[in-house]
């Protein structure tokens, strides 16, 4: 079977209407590329996400709405209906942009599954392994498996910063440690902490959708007795303290709460943080040292840095 991908150039205001038009014309699905959906990494924005600054540079200037149609006898009539709809939108809504239409063939009948070939089990540290649900994996003695599919919301574990945090967690966590995971997202760091021997884990996020996803992932791994997922801002609404605090967020947030976070880390406790682009690693290091932390280890990839630091006794 051959599939046809159609792409319409529009604006943020027009993307929903174009997507709805595609679906009315029989599209199997749609996807929107919009720069406005990517937070500016230079501006802290409340919801703690890892944003690669290079991502904005790679995004198209226009908003692109993609749709996929089966080729065949019905495609001609669908294309005619789409053409009429786009003409109508262009006439009625000048703010919807050019509404220019592009198309390309996708000959592989398995195109919808091909992206899965890019993802395989990934090891973090010595005994933590992240695997997608469709992949078989033969664990080594002592391995702990985190099953997380790439592409899911709030972090799938395949980002370098997640691997850095998991590696440091496994290395420095002591059995029975109390852990707080700030901006838990999908809950993957909380899962890694629990599987590495943490006693209890508080996974906190200010985004209610992230909290829901994390709760589902914790339940999937059978760890609801050990991991508590909570909505909120650690510095405003939570009085818990911990032996290890982990945060995979962004440099600006780390800089802003390096000092107040110490109220939630027990004397001698650890703070593991990443989401720091390499160019800002020295700035974060100096901030942590000025706040009184002892640098235990700095771990880097080609683009990202992570720290494990100790709060003074």
What average pLDDT does the segment 167-179 reach?
96
* Confidence category of residue 308, pLDDT binned at 50, 70, 90: very high
- pLDDT for the residue 171: 96
**pLDDT above 90: residue 174:** yes
pTM exceeding 0.75: no
**pLDDT above 70: residue 57:** no
- pLDDT for the residue 59: 53
> Higher model confidence: residue 206 or residue 84?
84
> Higher model confidence: residue 229 or residue 313?
229
Q: Which residues pair with 65 in a beta bridge?
A: 8, 32
- Least confident residue range of 17-21, 112-116, 292-296: 112-116
**pLDDT above 90: residue 197:** yes
Give tens-digit pLDDT for 240-279: 889 999 999 888 889 988 999 999 999 999 999 998 988 8
**pLDDT above 50: residue 151:** no
Q: Sketch out the chain's domains with CATH numbers.
A: 3-115 (3.30.70.120), 119-310 (3.40.50.150)
> Higher model confidence: residue 198 or residue 119?
198
Does residue 143 contact residue 127 with C-beta atoms inside 8 Å? Answer: yes
Closest CA to 30 of 60, 69, 59, 3: 69
- pLDDT for the residue 159: 77
> Higher model confidence: residue 158 or residue 13?
13
- Least confident residue range of 4-8, 110-114, 216-220: 110-114
Which pair of tokens denotes residue 175? 């059995």
Sheet strand arrangement including 122-124? 122-124, 128-131, 144-147
Please state, for a pLDDT cut of 70, what percent of the chain lies above it: 82
What average pLDDT does the segment 62-90 reach?
89
- pLDDT for the residue 157: 62
Give tens-digit pLDDT for 228-240: 999 988 666 677 8
- pLDDT for the residue 209: 77
Does residue 232 contact residue 163 with C-beta atoms inside 8 Å? Answer: no
- pLDDT for the residue 153: 42
* Confidence category of residue 156, pLDDT binned at 50, 70, 90: low
> Higher model confidence: residue 224 or residue 250?
224
- pLDDT for the residue 119: 63
- pLDDT for the residue 227: 97
Closest CA to 169 of 124, 115, 215: 124
**pLDDT above 50: residue 130:** yes
- DSSP codes of every residue in 43-97: S--SS-----HHHHHHS-SSEEEEEEEE-SHHHHHHHHHHHHHHHHHHHH-GGG-
């Amino acid at each position: 079977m051959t599939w046809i991908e159609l792409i319409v150039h529009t604006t943020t205001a027009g993307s929903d209407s174009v997507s709805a038009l595609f679906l009315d014309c029989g599209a199997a699905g749609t996807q929107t590329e919009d720069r406005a959906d990517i937070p500016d990494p230079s501006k802290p924005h409340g919801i703690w996400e890892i944003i690669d600054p290079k991502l904005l540079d790679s995004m198209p200037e226009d908003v692109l709405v993609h749709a996929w149609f089966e080729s065949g006898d019905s495609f001609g009539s669908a294309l005619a209906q789409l053409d009429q709809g786009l003409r109508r939108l262009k006439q009625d809504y000048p703010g919807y942009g050019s509404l220019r239409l592009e198309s390309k063939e996708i000959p592989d009948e398995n195109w919808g599954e091909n992206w899965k070939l890019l993802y395989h089990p990934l090891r973090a540290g010595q005994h933590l392994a992240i695997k997608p649900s469709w992949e078989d994996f033969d664990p080594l003695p002592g391995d702990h498996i985190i099953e997380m599919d790439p592409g899911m919301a709030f972090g799938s574990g395949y980002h370098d910063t997640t691997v850095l945090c998991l590696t440091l967690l496994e290395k420095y966590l002591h059995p029975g440690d109390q852990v707080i995971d700030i901006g838990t997202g999908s809950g993957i760091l909380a899962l890694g902490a629990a599987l590495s021997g943490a006693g209890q884990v508080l996974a906190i996020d200010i985004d209610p959708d992230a909290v829901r996803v994390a709760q589902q992932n914790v339940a999937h791994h059978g760890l609801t007795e050990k991991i508590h997922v909570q909505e909120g801002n650690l510095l405003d609404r939570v009085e818990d303290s911990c032996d290890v605090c982990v945060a995979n967020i962004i440099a600006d947030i780390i800089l802003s709460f390096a000092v107040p976070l110490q109220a939630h880390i027990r004397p001698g406790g650890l703070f593991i943080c990443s989401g720091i682009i390499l160019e800002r690693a020295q700035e974060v290091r100096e901030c942590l040292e000025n706040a009184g932390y002892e640098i235990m280890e700095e771990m880097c990839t080609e683009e990202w840095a992570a720290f494990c630091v100790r709060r003074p006794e």
